[in-house]
Amino acid sequence: MNERRIGSLHVSVVGLGCNNFGRRLDAPATAKVVHAAIDAGINFFDTADTYGNTRSEEYLGRALGRKREKVVIATKFGSEVDEKRKGARPEYVLKAAEDSLSRLGTDYIDLYQLHKPDPSVPIGETLGALDDLVKAGKVREIGCSNFTVAQLVEAEHSVRPGGARFVSVQNEYSLFHREPENGVLAECAALGMAFLPYFPLANGLLTGKYRKGEAPPPGSRMATGWNEQLLTDANLTKVEELIHFAKSRGRTILELAISWLIERPMVSSVIAGATKPEQVRANAAASDWDMSEAELKEINGILAANV
């Protein structure tokens, strides 16, 4: 699989989102997914201290075992683990990192990310703590998530002289969620930051499992009412057209969704979750569609249509 850079890190253009570990998957099932990812050429694993009520990090570290040195681990802090463990205060940043290192069973974190802005703490103070972690060798690179353009600029201007700076931002981005195009992608280009899209399949809408005129498949997340507001007639009509477009080129809508994101030069790795080894293999194989300008224009036309 092709690789791109996040700062000094080299990552596969498709990564594995680990939010299902410890929540929908137990430790043995997590290991199967992780091993399938490595076998498929994926070397980038993105987790967080809150995923699976902290079990995601534990299960990921256990599954990697001796293969840890061959992969890039990204994790996050800042979202609420419990009443005392949350936010971006410098003293908590250091404690959260130690906790993640322990759960992951590793001596260093490749990419340590602030999960969301903390308006109660000046970003310069958080960056100072993160810089201390980098200088101590416990973190290789730092990033942020769910940041606006203004917050990215503020963070860049708040870096201490010679200190670590954010090398990546991880925000939601997909064919059905284009918000990063309203400035964040351009700011990434200006600052030389990598962009990491999460929810690239629009919460499953771009897998093809949800079809117009059909009930959500039993056991699927939207069958339980989770994010069912996405299942509008307009969205499902566009899904049908995207499926037809992909089929006409011998492709799947999954390949379309992931390759469309990879066409963006600031996107370093598309973070896609999985609960089964076959899903990981499909995600990994979806990255090799080199879309033409005409194809990209036609896709945008489908999405822009009033239906």
Q: Which domains does the chain have, with CATH numbers?
A: 3-204+255-290 (3.20.20.100)
Q: How far is CA 189 from CA 11, 246, 264, in A?
A: 18, 29, 11
pLDDT at 209: 83
Distance (Å, whole) CA 165 – CA 168: 9
**Average pLDDT for 37-64:** 98
Token duo for residue 274: 């999985």
Residue 160: HSE in the Cβ half-sphere, 13 Å Cα cutoff: 14
pLDDT at 224: 55
Residue 267, classed as helix, strand or coil, is strand
What angle, 0 to 180 degrees and rounded to 10, lies between the N-to-C axes of helices 277-285 and 27-39?
A: 30
pLDDT at 108: 98
Token duo for residue 157: 């201007």
pLDDT (tens digit per residue) in 8-24? 999 999 999 999 999 99
Token duo for residue 45: 């694993």
Beta strand ranges found along the chain (DSSP E) = 3-6, 9-12, 14-17, 44-46, 72-77, 109-114, 139-145, 166-172, 194-198, 270-273
Distance (Å, whole) CA 153 – CA 199: 24
Distance (Å, whole) CA 137 – CA 133: 6
Does the pLDDT at position 232 exceed 80?
yes
Does the pLDDT at position 207 exceed 80?
yes
pTM higher than 0.85, yes or no?
Answer: yes
**Average pLDDT for 162-179:** 97
Does the pLDDT at position 228 exceed 90?
no
**Average pLDDT for 77-103:** 96
Q: Which amino acid is at 139?
A: V
Using CB atoms within 10 A of its CB, is residue 129 exposed (0-12), middle (13-18) or buried (19+)? buried
The answer for residues whose C-beta is within 8 angstroms of residue 280's C-beta and 6 or more apart is 16, 33, 36, 37, 40, 42, 274
Task: Give residue for tokens 């499992």.
Answer: 209
The answer for residues whose C-beta is within 8 angstroms of residue 99's C-beta and 6 or more apart is 49, 54, 85
Does the pLDDT at position 101 exceed 70?
yes
Distance (Å, whole) CA 304 – CA 93: 42
Whether 51 sits among the annotated catalytic residues: the reply is yes
Q: How long a stretch of residues is the chain?
A: 307
